[in-house]
Chains A and B, each alone.
Chain A
């Protein structure tokens, strides 16, 4: 066998120059590339100030959350087998400091140990320690303090321990609860680890593989392309419909409290998650780099290629997945501008403490006349119009929408 080794015999002369460790780690840590969203914004000449600001605030908040927990819980708050995973606006890089809630799970993928509960309780106790005096109409006040990392919602989906077993194995069937479905799909589409990341990656990859394992055929009939993974797609669709149904259920359970804010999120950020899931599934059929790998290997290797492709996609935020899809498939400039301008407007309203509080207090019956809600409705109509253009009028996506998106 001729190897690289045979071609390059070691040189005879050498010199040693010491370098410091941080320089060495920079080699590995400096891996980040510009976000597809930012690249698209720059190429279209749009500022989208609120999108950029939310992304920067998210990066800063993750960094400072990591530092806070390292101090308060100890450096080992995350290990190779148990990672703190954040969801929601922080993971989507739509974070509004001191306003957004922090959805988190202490995800265990390894030997279950009693210490895991203790760490998760310590995390819960540490989060309120980053606080400041109240600064506006909307705040998460408790005893005159405003909390940077506010408690997650009331459903119990977040803010506690989570285990990989049920996420990977209970897909569908009687035991796949709303909570489990939400955690699983959100782990794929809007999550990021804080601190160590190995458990998060293993679980996400295992979930993707689980979906693909159930596909009887990975390729279309003539073998020229990967199919859209239907099992994953159907679960993404189910998750979206579940969120929409739960919206009505929460309306009843909570007597209308928080209707305006929940409705705004359903129209925009929740819909965005669904859209990013659809685009991820469609990309399996469309991505030319992935199709180029078809000729090599058996089913296991093809499945690994598909899994790697999906994993590569879902490591990005939903906004970046949409931006990437728009860029790759030459969606009209006007549609891209309409979509992200609408989302930028949504974040602007969400970041305005008075408007946010007004939405929170708004009841359904006031929605047709409330000026803040009308702003949201205008933005969400623009957003929905752009999505309609992409999924129903763009020649690349429309046939897939017709085939997979409805029946």
Chain B
């Protein structure tokens, strides 16, 4: 059974407590605690012991997506205060001191990037990253891969090469301005292309933006049901 849940940043930007309150009313079994801005990481780490996360079989922390160069050392210190069984989802372009990150071993979970970043979108780039961090794990962001290459050809390359490192999925639609949207039919069809390459027990974290004014619990439940369906469609092998 695949653990399935949401990113707190997608549910309530900059307010993980609010997001956790919404998720507590759903059947989510996975959560990603989001600290996308540098300033959010310290407060998140400081409050970890107070949070009730007992409903989740899978927990990860999304480290800041951009940092000041001199914050890297502090970030790594904070990361070590996070429970060691949680993944640390990381954008490869924030890493400068590869050796220091390597010591975090498999907890460093490298995410493939969207088209705004200079690096990290392709299998070729990721090969370089994992060459530097051989023990690091992999978070496959389907929305980023679809935005970079809507044919999903690059996604197939990435998944085939790094399947044994795959420890988490990010699922959403990423629009042309690199914002996360609810999943469209076109994106859903693209996800189906790679569904067969994703082991059924890899946790999936949704990043779909929940529109304001709509019951968030109902919206979260609906998006999770859609993703559960997309990732569990039996493969029909027709022709070649």
Residues of A within 8 A of B (CB): 1, 3-11, 13-21, 23-25, 27-28, 31, 80-81, 110-111, 198, 201-202, 205-206, 208-209, 216-219, 223, 296-302, 304-305, 307-308, 311
Closest Cβ–Cβ distance, residue A207 to chain B (whole Å)? 10
In the complex, chain A residues whose CB is within 8 Å of the CB of B62: none
Task: Kindly state whether residue B116 has any CB partner on chain A within 8 Å.
Answer: yes
Bound CA span A150–B150, Å: 35
Asked whether A110 lies within 8 Å of B176 as measured between CB atoms, the reply is yes
Closest Cβ–Cβ distance, residue B95 to chain A (whole Å)? 7
Bound CA span A216–B155, Å: 23
Asked whether A31 lies within 8 Å of B151 as measured between CB atoms, the reply is no
Closest Cβ–Cβ distance, residue B189 to chain A (whole Å)? 10
Binds A, one of B27-35, B103-111, B206-214, B220-228: B103-111
Asked whether A301 lies within 8 Å of B239 as measured between CB atoms, the reply is no
The residue of chain B having its C-beta at the shortest distance from the C-beta of A2 within the complex is B164
Asked whether A27 lies within 8 Å of B96 as measured between CB atoms, the reply is no
Closest Cβ–Cβ distance, residue A388 to chain B (whole Å)? 34
Asked whether A209 lies within 8 Å of B153 as measured between CB atoms, the reply is yes
Task: Kindly state whether residue B81 has any CB partner on chain A within 8 Å.
Answer: no
Asked whether A3 lies within 8 Å of B137 as measured between CB atoms, the reply is yes
| Size of B's binding interface in residues, CB under 8 A | 62
Asked whether B137 lies within 8 Å of A4 as measured between CB atoms, the reply is yes
Asked whether B100 lies within 8 Å of A219 as measured between CB atoms, the reply is no
The residue of chain B having its C-beta at the shortest distance from the C-beta of A206 within the complex is B151
User: A7-B106, A307-B151 known; 14 other A-B pairs, CB under 8 Å?
Assistant: A3-B165, A3-B166, A24-B95, A27-B132, A110-B176, A205-B154, A217-B239, A218-B240, A298-B235, A298-B238, A300-B193, A301-B197, A304-B151, A308-B153
Q: Which of B73, B87, B116 contacts A80 (CB 8 A)?
A: B116
Closest Cβ–Cβ distance, residue A272 to chain B (whole Å)? 26
In the complex, chain A residues whose CB is within 8 Å of the CB of B103: 10-11, 13-15
Q: What are the 6 closest A-B residue pairs judged by CB atoms, nearest first?
A: A14-B103, A5-B106, A304-B156, A10-B105, A8-B135, A219-B240
Asked whether A16 lies within 8 Å of B73 as measured between CB atoms, the reply is yes
Query: What are 19 A-B pairs with beta-carbon distances under 8 A?
Result: A3-B164, A4-B106, A4-B135, A4-B167, A9-B106, A16-B73, A16-B97, A18-B70, A20-B96, A21-B69, A27-B132, A28-B120, A80-B116, A216-B239, A219-B240, A298-B237, A298-B238, A304-B151, A304-B152
In the complex, chain A residues whose CB is within 8 Å of the CB of B167: 3-5
